[in-house]
Structure formats: C-alpha cells, structure tokens
Amino acid sequence: MFELIGVPPQALFGQLLLGLINGSFYALLSLGLAVIFGLLNIINFAHGAQYMLGAFAAYLLLNNPFYSIGYWPALILAPVIVGGLGMLLERNLISQLNVRSKTRPLIFIASFVATFLALAASHLSGGAVPDLASLAGYKLDPAAAYGIAAIGALLFTSLLSATNMLKAPDADQNTDHLYGLLLTFGLAIIIQGLFVNQYGSSGLPYTIPDELKGGQNLGFMFLPIYRGWVIVASLAVCIATWLIIEKTKLGAYLRAATENPTLLSAFGVNVPRLVTFTYGFGVALAGLAGVLAAPIYSVNPNMGADLIIVVFAVVVIGGMGSILGAIVTGFMLGIVEGLTKVFYPEAASVVIFVIMAIVLLIKPAGLFGRTA
Amino acid sequence: MNIRTVFIAGAALLFAATAVHAQTPVKIGVLNDRSSLYADLGGEGSVVAAKLAVEDFKAADKGLKVDVIAADHQNKSDIAVNTAREWFDQQGVDLIVDTPNSGVALAVSEIVKEKNKVFINSGAASSDLTGAKCTPNTIHWTYDTWQLANGTGSAIVKQGGDKWFFITADYAFGHALERDTAKVVKDAGGTVLGSVKAPLNTQDFSSFLLQAQSSGAKIVGLANAGGDTINSIKQASEFGIVQGGQNLAGLLIFLTDIHSLGLKTAQGLIFTASFYWDLNDDTRAFADRFQKQTGRKPTMVQAGVYSGVLHYLKAVEALKSAKDGAAVVTQMKATPTDDPLFGKGEVRADGRKIHDSYLFEVKKPEESKGPWDYYKLLATTPKEKAFRPLSEGGCPLVASAAK
C-alpha cells in the first residue's frame, strides 16, 4: 500500500486505462479460444499464428501489386480470409483426428502429398503445366511457389472431401485434446517459420488509418484515438458473440452440439458443418484481433507466439471453455498486468502466470469454469 | 618399366600432389538469433556476410579450406553454450562469430576461452566484453554501449537535451547501455530523472511510455534493440511523445529497424552507428552483392561479421593453423586492420576493434530516394575518440600488459 501512495492518482488512472486496452486484446483472443474449446474440445494452439495471419492479411491486402485495400475493408475481409483458412484446416486436418477408421487419414495424406508434388513439380519444371505466376510476369522464389503449391493442395483435397471422396467423419467427443493441441502447435510453428523466412523477423510497417490518427488529452493521460477504438470494437464483438451463443437459436444448437452431438444429428442438424463453422468463427476472431493489432505493433511473424502463452493463461484462469470467463478475465488481467508495470515492471511478464497458479490451486476449474 | 615401378611412381606422384595441396582446415560457426527479434539484424545475413568474406579472401587459393556453419541460439545462454561446446568438441569449429544478445555473448566468451578458440563478436553491445569480462580469445568488433552512449548521448546533451528518462531492456545489454549513457549525460551536466526496466521482447510499451511522459524528461532514451526498439518508437508516435515536447533518443538503431518502422514514423531520430551501406563506393559495392543474396542491404552487424572474418583469415594464413585461438588473436592484434567496409583500424590489447564512428539522422520521407536510403550523416567521430580509452575499461589483460 505504501507504494500506491507514491504513484499519483492521475498516473494510476492512466495505467488502468492502458490495462483495459491490452485487456481488450486478451479478451478478443481468449474468447476465440474459449469458443473453440467449448464447442470442439480442441485446444487451438494455432490461435497465435492465426492472429498473426490476420495482421499479415491486412498488410498484404494493403500492399499487393493488384489492388490496395485499406484498413476498414480489411477489418471485414482479413477475418473472413483467416477464418476461411481455419475452416479448411478444420475440415482437412483437425476433423481427421477423431476418425474411427484408420484409413481415412492415410488417404488424405496421400492425396495431399500427391497434389503438392504435382504442383511443385509443375512450377520447378516450368513446363508441362503453365505456371500462373510466370504467365503474369511475376518472379516467384521457390519458397513462395511451395507455399502456393501447399495452399493449392489443401484446396484440392478439401474439394475432394466435399465430394465425399474423402468424407469428413462425424465429430464426436472421443478425441483426446492432446492430439488437437499437438497438431495445432506444430502447425503454428510451421506457419511462423515460413513467415519469418519470407518477411524477416523485425516486422513490416502498417500505419494507423487517417480517421483514427491523433489523440485526446484526458487530463490524466494522452489517449490515442486508435486505442480507444480498439476498446470499443473489441467490447462490441465480445458482447455480440456472447449474445449469439447464449441467446440465439444458432447458439442453442452450438451448445447442444457440445453436450450431445449424436442426438443433435438425429434431429437433422449437420453437426460436422456446425463444427467447421464454429472453428472458422473462432479463428476469424483471432484474425480480427490481428487486424486491430496491426497498426499498434509492427506486423511481425512472431507477434502471435509472444502472446499465445499469456492468452492461454487467461483462458485457464477464466475457466476453459467459459465464454463469459474469457471476456471478463481478459479485461481484468490486462489491468493487473498494466498495474504491475507501474509498481514492479520486471514482474510484468510473469504476474499472469502467478495468478494462474494461485487460481488453479484454489479453484481448479478456473474462476468461471464449471466442474464436470 | 615393369608394372611395379609404374605403381610406385604413381603412388609417389599422388602423395606429392596431396602434399602440395595440403590445406589448413578452418571452421567458422555463425551463432546468432535466427528466428526471433534479432534475426533480421544478424540471422542468415551474417552467414552470407561470412561466406562473402571467405570468397573475397580467396581462401582456397591460399591453402585454407574454410567451412561456414550456423545455428540459432534463440537468445538463450544455455542453448548458445551447449551449441558452442558441441561445435568445439565434435565439429572442430575454430571461430564463433556474430552472437548478438550481450547475456549470451558473455556466456559464449567464457566457453571460447576455456577451449582456447576465437570469438569475434559483432552483434552484442555490452562494453563489458572488452572491460571487466575481457578474455585473450575474444574480439569485440562492431560497436559497443560505451561508443553508442558517448556518440549519441553527448550530441543530444549538447543540443539542449539535458533531462533524461530511460526505457531499458531488462538484461545485461540494456543495463550496460543505460549505465554508460547515464554517465555521459551526467558528465555533460545533464540529469537522469529515472528509468524503467522492460522485459526483453515486450510487445506493448504503452505503460512504460506513459511513465516516461509523466516524468517531465526532455529526452526519452531507448536502451533497447531490434523488435523492442521498433515497438517503442512506433507506440511513442501513437502516444504523441514527440508532439508533447519530448524527444526520443534511439541508443541502438539498426538499418532493419528503420526499414520496418518506415521513414514516416522514424524520421528525425539521431543515433550512432559504425557502418552504413551508403558511405562510399566500397560499401555500396558490398551492399549490392549482399542484397543480391538476401534481398536486403547489410546492417552494421552483418558488415562487422564480414570484416571480422576477413581479418581472422589473414591471421590464420600467416600462422598456417587455426587451432590455437589465443595465438590467432595475438596475431590479429599485431596486424593493423584494413578492409573495404570499415577502412583502416586496429584491434586493441583488450580485444576492442577500433574504427570510425558515425552520428546519423533518419531522413524525412521526401529526402529518401527509395528503399534502404534512410540515413543522413551528421558527424564522424575519428577512431581515436570513438571508443572507450584503453585505460578506463578495467580489462585484466591491459593491467597485466602494463606491469
């Protein structure tokens, strides 16, 4: 308490506000994680990479040779793109984890490898199949060509699975979360590695949109307008998501799908599609957070990796899978962290984990978690 | 001539041929951050720089068989120390270069001494490497905290920036840089109002910037590097630090940082560096070759790797062996340095490489002619004055030499 007196109340309010701003990122990210865990039972470790992809999508929409797309359209487009990639991922890899027959993953992997090799070979041979990139007059380095080949292969295999040749099995609750965790963790590392390779580690510039430049002197602190906008936007999205899941019919289906997928499909609901959609939505939330973060941090391949562990701690403290828990603890821990930076900055990077340890000891299901 | 004589003659010829081509093996290990916040300023670019040095030295023609290998130390001392041990014990590495992150560099320096190999550090900053922690096997090549502090700190105090607040990276490097700069500021008649230690690789600097803002300081000194500097400058512009009448002093700025920030955000920053690619025809020629392989212009760290490896190879050629590290370093200290990137200089008894130091200002967007045209030269500090005087470092090697 003695140190509290040392800090003028004005500075304290300033730090509280900053905590709230950081908290809004934590809330948005942990909300996506909670939705995915609550409804799919998947610990989505790729969430940080998907947040990074959101920022990169915004950057690439703005700086591409074809048509420059600014911040506001990117705010809608980038989450859609990242969410779409997430749906492809769920359809082709994650859903394969809970398959009962052992053959389907093999078929999937075989067709993926075959398509990938075909596309890569066509690029490298530069002959048989005309290379789209070289037709357009762009020079592609091999890394980018392989990346495009991989995306092409993923698209192609998902087309196959859509036409029942590689039908995705029904989702069930038998999956051990460990497999999902390992798969998504591995993917996150691969994605980040590819981006570091392509874009370097020090990041790329993305400026604040003109409408939100400048700031407001609140008397106790200088509030950049953009940061204010981040709080408003993420609060709105958090509340909307909570309303959809708790108050709408769609939300009721989602919740039913977690309780008893077999019964729900007996009512004629397409549960696998619901699951894919939900994963895509959770990933889109990460993408949205990425676009919001792009003008504040430099667009950096490691931005998600640095954040994801903290966000996981937030989810664990709030209670795995609890939507409300994710939102409330997200904001709360942002504030706690902000205050730590004033009183004992060296501890700022560990304080959340200390809280996590304490909460787990006292209330193992988390603050808002339900014990099964 | 029977078949036996032919066989013996043939064997003798073969033996003679191998004897003529007996080559001195040299193995260079580039140990740096290849994936995280310092990967762009060193990383793969340092490997390219080392290979260019080997190429330019025409090592193969001079009887040296040089291999360059690389590893990622992930900014962790334990990983770096394990890699170094493995390199020395199993891979036969003779020289470790680059190694940014002062904490890691100080740890590696100990192993290199223990194994009697050579460590040419280009990436780390702590002036302790040639001060209290100097060894007979370590050369600190490109820059150090004393040089940065004196180059930038005194220039800013002279312009009237006499009240400072530091945002410091919370590890060996940041502490050394803050200590050295604070001394310069105080010696020049300024005051240090306070400092805050931010954990390495912090994403959000707003709390720290807010403290700097409310401190009433005229200058906010950024004693950090790479991604941390980028984020603090970017967020400082967001919080209107400069509009509010305070100025930023980037104490350690790399070319890749400016590239990442964009000139719009970075313009007007004043900082000290040992190298810029657009200094003269030689540096430009090197930068063009470097860019062809990496897509970027070289940073001062990468330039230092090139120049360090070049000088090292000269010493190995003279000694015809790379095995005794201390002997190689002694030879390097005895020979004046001269290379296209840093010009003429020397390696001092404490392991400090001496060359000119430059004060740069980041160009305004309208002054820049294109990508990588970022720096404007304000002043050159001659090599005699750019680095800490030999007598002030407290290096035990110097003390024993004086006795």
Give the Cα separation of A144 and A128 in Å (integer): 19
Q: Say how far apart CA B41 and CA B296 lie, in whole Å.
A: 10
Query: Which has the minimum average pLDDT: A30-39, A95-104, B106-115, B255-264?
Result: A95-104
**Residue A273 pLDDT greater than 90, yes or no:** no
H-run or E-run covering B169: strand B163-169
User: Is A10 in Cβ contact with B260 (below 8 Å)?
Assistant: no
Choice among A72-81, A255-264, B84-93, B250-259 with the minimum mean pLDDT: A255-264
Per-residue pLDDT, A177: 67
Distance between CA atoms of A346 and A352, rounded to whole angstroms? 13
- Among A15-24, A185-194, A256-265, which is the least confidently predicted range? A256-265
Nearest CA in chain B to A21: B206
Q: Over chain A, what is the mean pLDDT?
A: 81
Within 8 A of A8 by CB-CB distance, chain B residues are 214
ipTM of the complex: 0.73
In this model, does residue A355 exceed pLDDT 90?
yes
Instruction: Compute CA A193 distance to the chain's CA centroid, rounded to the nearest angstrom.
Output: 17
Q: Which of B175, B203, B239, B265 to mutate to test the interface with A (most CBs of A within 10 A)?
A: B203
- CA–CA dist A270, A261 (Å, integer): 10
Q: Does A63 touch chain B (CB under 8 A)?
A: no
B330 touches chain A (CB under 8 A): no
Distance of CA B114 to the CA centre of its chain: 22
Contacts of B215 in chain A (CB under 8 A): none
Q: Is B138 on the interface with A (CB under 8 A)?
A: no
Interface test with B, best of A198, A201, A310, A311 (most B CBs within 10 A): A201
Out of A208, A303, A342, name the one closest to residue B207 (CB). A342
* Residues contacting residue A268 through CB under 8 Å, at least 6 positions apart: none
A14 vs B108, residue with greater confidence: B108
CB within 8 Å: B36 and A201: yes
Give the chain A residue nearest B257 (alpha carbons).
Answer: A202
φ, ψ dihedrals at A223, nearest 5°: -100, 115
User: What are the residues facing B270 on neighbouring strands?
Assistant: B361
Is some CB atom of chain A closer than 8 A to the CB atom of B339?
no
Question: Do the Cβ atoms of B375 and B268 come closer than 8 Å?
Answer: no
Residue A358 pairs in a beta bridge with none
Q: Look at residue A126 in the predicted model and tell me its pLDDT.
A: 43
- The crossing angle, in degrees rounded to 10, of helices B206-214 and A323-343 is 40
CA-CA distance, A224 to A235, in Å (whole number)?
A: 17
Residues in A touching B35 (Cβ below 8 Å): 193, 196, 201, 302
* φ, ψ for residue A316, nearest 5 deg: -65, -40
Cβ-based contacts under 8 A for chains A and B: 117
| Whole-number pLDDT of residue A155 | 72
CB within 8 Å of chain A, chain B residues 87-126: none
Confidence at A65, pLDDT banded by 50, 70, 90: confident
Instruction: Decide if B260 and A204 are in contact by the 8 Å CB cutoff.
Output: yes
pLDDT at A151 over 80: no
CA gap A10, B22 in Å, rounded: 74
Query: Which residue among A18, A200, A204 places its CB closest to the CB of B210?
Result: A18
Q: Residues with Cβ < 8 Å from B157, sequence gap 6 or more?
A: B184, B185, B188, B189, B190
pLDDT above 80 for A83: yes
- Full-model pTM: 0.79
What's the confidence (pLDDT) of residue B97? 96
pLDDT reported for residue B380: 93
pLDDT, position A3: 44
Strand partners, B192: B164
Q: B residues 153-212 near A, CB within 8 Å?
A: 170, 196-199, 201-204, 206-208, 210-211
DSSP conformation class of B299: P
What pLDDT, on a 0 to 100 scale, did the predictor assign at position A7? 65
Q: Is B267 helix (H, G, I), strand (E, B) or coil?
A: coil
Mean pLDDT in consecutive groups of 10 residues from the start of chain B, 403 residues? 64 54 86 88 94 94 92 92 95 95 94 96 94 95 94 90 94 92 93 92 88 90 92 90 88 93 88 95 96 94 96 94 94 95 94 95 93 93 93 86 54
B234 close contact with A: CB closer than 8 A: yes
User: Which one, of B135, B85, B79, lies nearest residue B103 by Cα?
Assistant: B79
CB-nearest to B201 from A221, A296, A306 is: A306
In this complex, the residue of A196, A207, A227 whose CB is nearest that of residue B264 is A207
Phi and psi for A365 in degrees, rounded to 5?
-85, 0
Percent of chain A with pLDDT over 70: 77
Q: Does A346 touch chain B (CB under 8 A)?
A: yes
**In the beta sheet, which residues pair with residue A318?**
none
Q: Which of A141, A202, A227 to mutate to test the interface with B (most CBs of B within 10 A)?
A: A202
Residues 6+ apart with CB under 8 A from B231: A297, A298, B202, B203, B204, B205
Comparing CA positions, the residue from B347, B271, B350 lying closest to residue B310 is B347
For residue A1, pLDDT beyond 50: no
A226 and B170 in contact by Cβ < 8 A? no
Chain B residues in contact with A11 by the CB 8 A cut-off are 210-211, 214
Which chain B residues contact residue A202 at CB under 8 A? Answer: 37, 39-41, 226-227, 230, 256-257, 259-260
